[in-house]
Structure 1
């Protein structure tokens, strides 16, 4: 079965044929829709997802309802960070940000494969490490970078994982992703558009100048991406070529 198995998910491509022979019979193709909640905070997930064309936001929240995105996962990996680490439940809400396809794997299959296949576990832990670096980079960006730079970083990360230069997104959703008020998002979008880096239309943002966005994001962007390339040879630039 693995001879005919094909997927754009880069983390699965890093797995050995022996590990894939265990996983493939249990991988189920699913179509995910923007706004769909895959798992809520403090829940135990029955499945994890390996995105192929969708993008998943990992959102941290408080009991009072404050929310901010702390990480993004697309075709490079999986949302199952807590499950890989053996946590009984997640502290992050997993929200589909971009409509698309994914491969769904039951958590019980993941757990048994991790327990019996040390090479598979090593591959997934390298991905977890890169995600932890992404989360720490998000924390640094929230604490030390202006909103316009954080917006540029987020747009770059989305473009890395989505197809094309147009992102379907509302101001309200962007405010949640960046952890700011909607008025702050509006001002940041106006700033970035005035620089000629993006164009706006109702419900969407069109990326025009990637190099300019990288300059604006400065070193808030690039460290997790470099770690993925270094440890797993996953190059997020390939989705853009």
Structure 2
């Protein structure tokens, strides 16, 4: 139970709960390991569980009727997914999967929906996170329309870096191309740009952040506004 308590508090939202609500909700939570590629929920599928990560990174992917895919946003230990559950929804229009392996807790959708009206702080925290996540999605749309691939990649790597311990991120070029909705050669070229500026180092299946400040400067306006919104509403990651 000591290990469970320690892990539980690593999720930012769960750590902010008052003890009274924590004790009421905690019995419904189940610890779970989440390998890379784990599908939390499929697109247009019923939500069975709501996930609160303690480590790792989840990717929220929009899937068209023709099967085209693009990442809409990401989340880690600062939040939860699928977000419709936070406002009483029981179906996810997005696919949610793990892009970086981790672990966390899941709670059945029925228990989540029952907990919302009975635990006002819990409900408020989920609503606040949904607002911050909406701002992230809006900036993804802005960046996809107005920024170069290398700047978008810089933003995406910064967002990943925010959600992991240390400077190494386990990522493949194929996965990055899916997340940025560009072809793999475009990812390779963008990584070469960042490597040439000594901002990152790439190895097979791994990217190391070498110069965080320089990466932020390179990303410019593509990065930072949704992170400010999170700090305003919920504090630091």
Q: Which runs of 5+ in 2 are unaligned?
A: none
Aligned residue number for residue 109 of structure 1: 111
Which of 215, 219, 222 lines up with 2:224 in the alignment?
A: 222
Aligned residue number for residue 204 of structure 1: 206
Moved over 6 A (4+): none
Please state how far the C-alpha of 1:222 moved relative to its aligned partner. 1.0
C-alpha distance after superposition, 1:63-98 (max 9, x if no partner): 212111111111111013011122231111111111
Please state how far the C-alpha of 1:119 moved relative to its aligned partner. 2.9
Aligned residue number for residue 239 of structure 1: none
Cα distance between partner residues in 2 of 1:161 and 1:188 = 22
TM-score with structure 2 length normalisation? 0.94
Aligned residue number for residue 120 of structure 1: 122
Aligned residue number for residue 135 of structure 1: 137
Q: Which runs of 5+ in 1 are unaligned?
A: 237-241
Which of 68, 74, 77 lines up with 2:79 in the alignment?
A: 77
Aligned residue number for residue 160 of structure 2: 158
Please say if residues 142 and 150 of structure 1, whose CA atoms lie closer than 8 Å, have aligned partners that are also in contact. yes
Cα distance between partner residues in 2 of 1:193 and 1:21 = 48
Aligned residue number for residue 190 of structure 1: 192
Please state how far the C-alpha of 1:118 moved relative to its aligned partner. 2.8
Cα distance between partner residues in 1 of 2:207 and 2:124 = 38
TM-score with structure 1 length normalisation? 0.93
Aligned residue number for residue 178 of structure 1: 180
Please say if residues 193 and 200 of structure 1, whose CA atoms lie closer than 8 Å, have aligned partners that are also in contact. yes
CA-based RMSD? 1.5
Please say if residues 82 and 96 of structure 2, whose CA atoms lie closer than 8 Å, have aligned partners that are also in contact. no
Please say if residues 73 and 137 of structure 2, whose CA atoms lie closer than 8 Å, have aligned partners that are also in contact. yes
Cα distance between partner residues in 2 of 1:115 and 1:80 = 18
Which secondary structure does the structure 2 equivalent of 1:38 belong to?
A: strand
Please say if residues 98 and 162 of structure 1, whose CA atoms lie closer than 8 Å, have aligned partners that are also in contact. no
Cα distance between partner residues in 2 of 1:54 and 1:194 = 28
Cα distance between partner residues in 2 of 1:166 and 1:148 = 19
Cα distance between partner residues in 2 of 1:154 and 1:173 = 12
